[in-house]
Chains A and B, each alone.
Chain A
Amino acid sequence: MAPRGKAQSTREARNPLGAKSSSRGGIQKRRGPTRVDTDGDLDMDGPSKRPNRGPATETSGGRGRPSGRGGPGPSRGAAKVAQIVMKQLGGGSDLASRVSRPRGRGGQIEGLTWLRVRGLKQSKAASNSDGGLSDLLSFLERKASSLGTGRKRHITIRKSHRAGEFVFVGANKEDAEELLKLNTFTFAGVQLEVVESNGDFEPSSKATESPETAELRAKLQSILSQRYIGENKLLKLDALASDPELVTLGMFENRERALKTFKGLMAICDGLFKTAQEKKDAIHSISLANNSIDNVIQVESVAVSFPQLKNLDMSGNQVSNMDGLQRWKGKFKELETIYMTGNPIEGTDVNYKTTLLEWFPKLQNINGVELRTAQQIAEEEAARLPKPIPQSGPDFRDVNGIGEQFLLDFFTAYDTNREGLIARLYDAGSQFSLAVDAVSVRDPNAPAPLPWAAYIKSSRNLMKINSHHARSQRLFKGQAVIHDLWKELPVTKHPNMKEELSKYIMDCHPLPGLADPTGQSQLGVDGLILAVHGEFEEYDQKSGTTGKRSFSRTFVLGPGLSGTAPIRVVSDMLSLRAYSPLPNVFVAPSPAPVDAANQHQAMIAELSKQTGMVPQYSEMCLSQVEWDFGRALVIFNEKKAQLPPEAFAPAV
């Protein structure tokens, strides 16, 4: 709707029969008797042949304007009006496409530029049978096409509709630019105003619908409200064809009309709710019972309008196989209950319940029998989710306690005496670098992560640091160089490893092939590689900030030069990330998955509990269906009547 168009919601008075033609104005073509639909568009198609009509909203489809060919005469009373209304309500259109877009933008094509044209109503052409619309459109196209200098290009109006005194025309961007140049051109005695539409026009059907349309809409709404049982959140759309009011309105005259009526009812339902949530809250259940439905194509729009429906009654219809339900496969993702009793499928497809359970992930209950519980569904879903590789405690394959001793010593020394630590364990060949991951996953409830300023200028994260110079500069080699860096890094306090072991994860393995610092062994010497993960508290003396960080640190340890320390640090790589507590790998790992035998026992017990069968019969039943619990229940319910009395546990 145009900004000003909204105020002018009452439509210009027009002869609904539209037969009066003007003798004035040379631009009008001679026409036969014509009908006018509610927005003034010519309605050329008879009721029986309208396959080419586009979405039946205010916007006329295709080329956007009627091409003069007479229709079959004036309206034929209530049924005729009803048909027009159905068209207006979306009955003739693809409901899915309407619903998927915001309301009121029904006919808009992606990428069209919309222009607003004023002047038609004041022009002499307004008295033409179609209100002059077709003449205006061909005028605009013709004039715009002839504007260009040099090679002429045909300008096409792709869409058009009237709203109050305005005509909105949609064209591609280039054409729209040409059309805009027609501003102030004279059409049928009137100066036109052609401006770019600001885009929030809404070809709302309500604003321009005729009294007849409004009346029918009201009637249908009233029928819907009678069929809505608020306390049960149930919409009863059963046996529609025998509803006296709908019959009186001629809404179920024939099959085609019935289908359109149904779509129209769904469209009205949609219109009654402002949000999808409101709709979901108001309607939990729908009954479509006794509607002679043999294929849900006929009522497919229920799945579009009520995707979160919980309960659906399809009983007493004519569905004879799963093909008849195919269109709903993958829809109704929240459906919990369905009734299919009284459909031929009960006799023709013995597996239909199993298939329904597969198609509707939340379905628990068919024909009033619970076939699986919500908990079972949740467990099945959980089983399908990806699972991390399980955690175990430290893989600490130490040699002579060297790795353990190193770790117990290292973090205390790093916190309290970095210089002494370097003097003891680092030498001219030792390397240190640190790498910052500033985008790590962290606990959303934890305090904001500490700033990275103190580390970022020495971070050697090779994902970020690409220049050779920086990579060389940020690799620290030798005692002096490492010490120069460490004394600038923030003061830290690591948890005491003995007292707070669970704040660490550490692995240690032997590693062959290290360079022999004595140069004696050509093949190299054996060492250790350690990976430690943990946290530390930090105090940045420069900025005065304190807080926690998480770290991982990898050490390669080798034998020291004899006479100095027994071990030396070959490599020390520190990785830093925002604080996030570690998983505690020291607790006993989660119990091993229940083995098959135990699982079978549990299923037997559960089936016996749900069905009242004795365990032997539960086991027979389950083994028949390869231990598929859902299918076991289906089979039980099918064969229940044939089971001997001893199959059931005696009532206590």
Chain B
Amino acid sequence: MPLPDADTEVRASSEAAENFVNNYYQAINSKAKLETFYINSSTRYSIPADISINGSVVPTPAEYSKLLESQGENVLYEIESLDTHIINPSFQYGAPDTVYESEKNEKSGRRMSIVVTTMGKVRFGKGREAPQKMFNETFVLVPNWDAMARNPARGLKRWLIMSQNFRAL
């Protein structure tokens, strides 16, 4: 098994984490659909993502969108801190029998699972006086096997959320 070397691990995990949080929080702030960020959107994963928001399990990404919407207008998430570790450099869960260019993908760090932590602020309302709260959020991202194909459908995310834990602090 050609595992990624240490340099590749750092590079690939950082890039995955940065791309993910940029897109994910932008989607939250613009109230875009969240489905495609989760393993729920891929048939390769037989389990739904484990979404835990402020201590309550949220069954689906759509339910989480509803919860976000219920906060009202002009709620803004801003990230101030980000870090990531690799959990498993050769993630197998849900993988098809033959992964496209398996060795190359593994070597380049595309078959990892990673844990991503963010910390930042939620702003409730516009303007300087608007109340704001800190939050901390943890994601486990896993490969989107559908994107690891010869001709993947356009717009597929490379990484999907398998586990999510949000807490307002």
Contacts and interface: CB of A to CB of B under 8 A. Distances in A.
Contacts of A523: 92-93
A387 interface: yes
B136 interface: yes
A511 B49 CA distance: 10
Contacts of B132: 441
Contact of A522 (B10, B92, B168): B92
B11 A388 contact: no
A21 interface: no
Interface string B60-80: 000000011011111100011
Interface in B96-150: 113, 115, 117, 119-122, 124-125, 132-134, 136, 138, 140, 142
B162 interface: yes
Contacts of B121: 440-441
B169 A552 contact: yes
Given A389-B54, A570-B87, A441 B72 contact: no
A581 B82 CA distance: 22
B27 interface: no
Nearest to B55: A392
Contacts of B7: 468, 472
Contact of B57 (A393, A395, A550): A395
A509 B53 CA distance: 12
Contact of B87 (A393, A531, A571): A571
With most chain A CB atoms within 10 A of its CB, the pick from B7, B67, B169 is B169
Nearest to A393: B55
A431 B117 CA distance: 14
Given A386-B125, A462-B14, A573-B117, A513 B53 contact: no
B41 interface: no
B93 A524 contact: yes
Among A462, A510, A513, residue most surrounded by chain B Cβ atoms (within 10 Å): A462
A571 B115 contact: yes
Nearest to B17: A462
B29 interface: no
A511 B140 contact: yes
A471 B14 contact: yes
Contacts of A74: none
B52 interface: yes
Contact of A388 (B10, B71, B138): B71
Contacts of A550: 169
Q: How large is the interface on B (under 10, 10 to 19, 20 to 34, 35 or more residues)?
A: 35 or more
B140 A507 contact: no
B91 A513 contact: yes
A389 B70 contact: yes
Interface string B1-39: 000001100110010011000000000000000000000
Given A386-B74, A554-B138, A462 B85 contact: no
Nearest to B120: A437
A393 B54 CA distance: 8
Contact of B168 (A391, A431, A439, A577): A391
A476 to B, nearest CB: 10
Contacts of A552: 117, 119, 136, 167, 169
Contacts of B133: 388, 441
Interface in A385-436: 385-395, 431, 433-436
B71 A436 contact: no
Nearest to A509: B50
Contact of A573 (B53, B54, B83, B165): B83
Contacts of B47: 512
A583 B122 CA distance: 15
A441 B117 contact: no
Contacts of A582: 169
B115 A529 contact: yes
A555 to B, nearest CB: 9
B49 to A, nearest CB: 11
Given A462-B17, A509-B163, A439 B80 contact: yes
B54 A529 contact: no
Nearest to A581: B169
Contacts of B134: 440-441, 577, 580
A385 B125 contact: yes
Given A437-B80, A529-B165, A583-B169, A462 B18 contact: yes
A224 interface: no
Nearest to A396: B55
B124 A462 contact: no
Contacts of A531: 136, 138, 165, 167
A513 B67 contact: no
A507 B88 contact: no
A475 B93 CA distance: 26
B86 interface: yes
Contacts of B75: 386
Contacts of B17: 462
A441 to B, nearest CB: 5
Interface string A560-592: 000000000011010101001011010000000
B56 interface: yes
A391 B85 contact: no
Given A389-B54, A523-B92, A531-B138, A554 B115 contact: yes
A534 to B, nearest CB: 10
A524 B143 CA distance: 14
A221 interface: no
A630 B53 CA distance: 37
Contact of A575 (B89, B136, B168): B136
A550 B81 CA distance: 14
B6 to A, nearest CB: 7
Contacts of A583: 168-169
A433 B83 contact: yes
Contacts of B125: 385-386
B79 A463 contact: yes
B119 A513 contact: no
Given A515-B88, A554-B117, A387 B70 contact: yes
Contacts of A462: 14, 17-18, 82-84
A515 B87 contact: yes
A388 B168 contact: yes
Contacts of A441: 121, 132-134
Interface of B: 6-7, 10-11, 14, 17-18, 47, 50, 52-57, 67-68, 70-75, 79-93, 113, 115, 117, 119-122, 124-125, 132-134, 136, 138, 140, 142, 162-163, 165, 167-169
6 contacts: A386-B75, A387-B124, A435-B117, A509-B163, A513-B162, A575-B117
Interface of A: 384-395, 431, 433-437, 439-441, 460-463, 468, 471-472, 475, 505, 507, 509-515, 522-524, 529, 531, 533, 550, 552, 554, 556, 570-571, 573, 575, 577, 580, 582-583, 585
Counting from the closest, the 8 A-B pairs by CB-CB distance are: A392-B55, A386-B72, A513-B93, A552-B136, A437-B81, A571-B85, A386-B124, A515-B88
